[in-house]
């Protein structure tokens, strides 16, 4: 029965997504001439309203903890765990303040959705060395503009048995080079909504987004040690919180 219902919910979620996406795409096109960082802040506000509507109409809900860990006037590299395609709609719109996400370039080729995707992202082709180098430079520009940079250090969705996969170096190298503090964020239950490996599946679920206290970074820090420390902090928190979730 759940298998049948999940497909019914998936069909409804797809219809809602497409219908609500059209006016959002128009708004994203309209803000194209606005200068940064104001344009990205408008993007975040529009995306947040869009996702709130989408969650409501598809029976999902979102609980957020730790907003007070963002200090006014401060910028952060926000690092998130990655379990599901639902993670992106939870991160960028609900991070307080203008922010951009490092994202796969191929997703920007999707008609209409690609316009929205490009507005909130630094695009990277992971198979292209020059693209990776250029994206790193653009992430520094985002931070220089006073915006947060959102990164998924696991790289791809976690399909392993590990609570959090091993991290790549990029976010931590960026933090040390720019001396930007890192703020860890953990998302819960997104895998229940859109499980990796499940075709045409959607299940209404209460999701959670927890922002942890920021970790201070200096240029004298060792990138590898910073990476290991953040992985430990996030893994331990994730495991402990899973025990408390329904």
For residue range 160-178, list pLDDT tens digits in order. 889 999 999 999 999 999 9
Q: What is the pLDDT of residue 67?
A: 97
pLDDT of 1 over the 90 cut: no
Task: Count CB neighbours of 192 within 10 A.
Answer: 17
Ramachandran angles phi, psi of 198, nearest 5°: -100, 125
Give the mean pLDDT of 36-63.
97
CATH classification of the domain holding 72: 3.40.1130.10
Q: What is the pLDDT of residues 72-94, one digit of tens each?
A: 999 999 999 999 999 999 999 99
- The range of the structural domain enclosing residue 85 comes to 2-242
Q: Which residues contact 1 (CB under 8 A, 6 or more apart)?
A: none
Closest CA to 104 of 93, 87, 118: 118
Q: Which of 60, 56, 28, 52 is nearest to 42 (CA)?
A: 28
Mean pLDDT across the chain: 94
Assess contact for 210 and 65: CB atoms under 8 A.
yes
Q: Supply the pTM of this predicted model.
A: 0.94
Three-state secondary structure string covering 214-225: CECCCCCCCHHH
Q: Are 186 and 234 in contact (CB under 8 A)?
A: yes
Residue 53: strand, helix, or coil:
helix
- Between strands 121-124 and 99-104, the pairing is parallel
Q: Kindly state the average pLDDT of the residues 46-69.
A: 97
Beta carbons within 8 Å of 112's beta carbon, 6+ residues apart: 21, 22, 25
Number of compact structural domains in the chain: 1
pLDDT tens for 187-240 read 999 999 999 888 899 999 999 999 999 999 999 999 999 999 999 999 999 999
Q: What pLDDT score does 221 carry?
A: 97
| Predicted pLDDT at 244 | 84
Question: Does residue 128 register a pLDDT over 90?
Answer: no
Interval 129-154: pLDDT, tens: 888 889 999 999 999 999 999 999 99
The average pLDDT across 180-185 equals: 98
- Token couple for 15: 């219809």
pLDDT band, very low/low/confident/very high, at 125 (cuts 50, 70, 90): confident
Shortest CA distance to 39 belongs to which of 170, 153, 133, 142? 142
pLDDT at residue 223 in the model = 97
Q: How far apart are CA 86 and CA 66, in angstroms?
A: 20
- pLDDT at residue 7, rounded to an integer: 96
pLDDT at 106 over 90: no
Q: What mean pLDDT do residues 111-127 have?
A: 89
3-state secondary structure 79-112: EECCCCCCHHHHHHHHCCCCEEEEEEHHHHHCCC
> What is residue 25's DSSP assignment?
H
Calculate what percentage of the chain has a pLDDT beyond 70. 100
Q: What does the block give as tokens for 59? A: 């029976």
112 vs 78 pLDDT, higher one: 78
**Residue 150 and residue 144: Cα distance in Å, rounded?**
14
Q: Label residue 28 by pLDDT band (50, 70, 90).
A: very high
Residue 104 Cα distances to 3, 80, 92, 120, angstroms? 30, 16, 15, 12
**For residue 246, pLDDT beyond 80:** no
End-to-end CA distance of the chain: 21
What mean pLDDT comes out for the span 112-123?
91
Question: How much is the pLDDT for 71?
Answer: 96
């Amino acid at each position: 029965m759940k298998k049948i219902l999940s497909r019914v919910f998936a069909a409804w979620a797809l219809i809602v997504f497409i219908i609500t996406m059209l006016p959002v795409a128009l708004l994203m096109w309209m803000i194209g001439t606005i200068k940064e960082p104001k344009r990205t802040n408008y993007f975040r506000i529009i995306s947040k309203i869009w996702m709130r509507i989408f969650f409501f109409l598809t029976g999902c809900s979102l609980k957020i903890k730790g907003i007070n860990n963002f200090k006014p006037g401060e910028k952060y590299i926000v690092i998130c765990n990655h379990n599901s395609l639902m993670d992106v709609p939870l991160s960028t719109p609900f991070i307080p303040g203008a922010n951009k996400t490092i994202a796969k370039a191929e997703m920007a080729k999707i008609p209409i959705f690609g316009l929205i995707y490009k507005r909130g992202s630094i695009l990277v082709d992971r198979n292209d060395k020059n693209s990776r180098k250029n994206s790193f430079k653009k992430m520094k520009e985002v931070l220089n503009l006073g915006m947060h940079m959102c990164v998924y250090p696991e790289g791809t969705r976690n399909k392993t048995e590990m609570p959090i996969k091993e991290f790549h170096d990029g976010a931590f190298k960026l933090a040390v080079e720019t001396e930007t503090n890192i703020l860890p964020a953990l998302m819960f239950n997104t895998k229940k909504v859109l499980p990796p490996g499940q075709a045409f599946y959607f299940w209404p679920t209460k999701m959670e987004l927890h922002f942890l206290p920021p970790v201070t970074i200096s240029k004298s820090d060792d990138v590898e040690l910073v990476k290991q420390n953040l992985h430990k902090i996030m893994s331990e928190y994730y495991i402990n919180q899973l025990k408390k979730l329904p």
